[in-house]
Structure 1
Amino acid sequence: MRNFVFGILVMAFALLSCKSDDESLQRIDQIMNIYMVNSAGQDLLNSKKPGSFSGYSVNDSLGDRDISPVNIPLRMRADSTFYMEYIAGAKRKRLDSVSPDNPGTGNSYYSVMTLGLRRTVNNVADTITDRLRIEYRKTPTLFQVSKVYYNDVLQFSKEADQPNSINTFTITK
């Protein structure tokens, strides 16, 4: 009889532990689509257009080594507009233990990357070096991009209560 009661208790605990709780999942929102245009609106990532960049490289400035490449693939929309799709890859460092924008909500992190943008001007190869800084907001229920700076100029910001989405912004060079 004792084994029977013990068996029922074990099964009851097993069934209770299988209960799923959707509220306990953390939402992750960190995908970014980065567009680059000139002041006339020309797509600078389309290497077939004159004056555009012929290539680019991305290095993690906070990486373990001086050269820590980050893979940011070039994608194309249906209308032939190119963009860089950043999902993850750069090292994140803790910014503070309590976010100054949202006190008591969690931790803030940041990543810093260097972009080497290559193009040819008057048959001379030229490389422009720019800086991309991404700040993240982390709470027990959310991890998301909160701000993006390009050459120390704010390009994108997102409030904590905004829904998950692909974070899209355009840099004008």
Structure 2
Amino acid sequence: MRNIVFGILIVLGALLSCKSDDESLQRIDQVLNIYMKSNTNPDLLNSKKTGSFTSYFANDSLGDRNVSPVTIPLRMRPDSTFYMEYIAGAKRKRRDSTGPDNPGTGNSYYSVMALGLIKRVNDKPDTIIDRLRIEYRKTPTVFQVSKVYYNDVLQFSKEADQPNSINVVTITK
């Protein structure tokens, strides 16, 4: 009899410890879908289109070594438009802040990557190295992308109270 009571107490204890408090969870919103286009080409990431980039690579500028590759897979929407899907991989540096760009008592973080874009020019590879800077906002309730700069030009901005979503960045070259 004592074993049955002890077993019931263990089961009840396990069930009570599994109770979740949704308000104590931190929302994470850091997925970026990066599209590239030009005035003459709506999809610079489609290597089959003339004038598009044939390949690309990313290197973490804040990485521990000179060459710190970051994996950014190429994805395709149902309408055959290509985009780079960045989730994580580059090192984040902390920058303390409590100003208007980072309300509350949170901190901000940033990542910097060198983005190499390769295209064929006169049957020779031509590599363009651009700079991608991603800023993050961290508060007790949310960790999210707040701004994206491409070659030091603001391309994307998100207010602190906007809901979680996939962040779409369109870069015009």
Fold shared, TM-score > 0.5 on shorter chain: yes
Matched, 1:57 2:57: yes
Alpha-carbon shift at residue 123 of structure 1 (Å): 1.8
Q: Which runs of 4+ in 1 moved over 2 A?
A: 10-19, 97-100, 102-105
Aligned length: 165
| Separation in structure 1 between the aligned mates of residue 51 and residue 93 of structure 2, nearest angstrom | 36
1:24-173 aligned within 5 A: 24-173=24-173
Which ranges in structure 1 are unaligned for 5 or more consecutive residues? 1-6
TM-score by length of 1: 0.88
Answer yes or no: is the 8 Å Cα contact 2:34–2:168 preserved in 1. yes
* Conserved? CA contact 1:99–1:107, under 8 Å: no
Q: TM-score, normalised by structure 2?
A: 0.88
Query: How large is the Cα RMSD of the aligned pairs?
Result: 1.8
Equivalent AA in structure 2 for residue 105 of structure 1: T
Q: Is the 8 A contact 1:99 1:106 kept in 2?
A: no
The separation in 2 between residues aligned to 1:52 and 1:60, in whole angstroms, is 24
Letter of the structure 2 residue corresponding to residue 151 of structure 1:
N
Q: Cα 1:144–1:99, aligned 2, differ >3 Å: closer, same or farther?
A: farther
**Which amino acid letter does the alignment assign opposite residue 128 of structure 2?**
I
Return the offset for 1:17.
4.3
Change over 3 Å in CA distance of 1:40–1:18 after alignment to 2: same
Specify the SS of the correspondent of 1:98: coil
Compute the displacement of 1:89 (Å): 0.3
**Cα distance in 2 between the residues matched to 1:22 and 1:29:** 16
- Cα distance in 1, alignment partners of residues 73 and 99 from structure 2: 31
* 8 Å Cα contact 1:99/1:137 also seen in 2: no
Contact 2:97/2:106, CA 8 A, preserved across alignment: yes
SS of the equivalent of 2:70 reads: coil
1:89-136 per-residue CA deviation (whole Å, 9 max, x = no partner) reads: 000000224344234330000000001100011222200000000000
Identity %: 78
| Contact 2:104/2:139 (<8 A) preserved | no
- On the 8 A contact 2:58/2:72 being kept in 1, the answer is yes
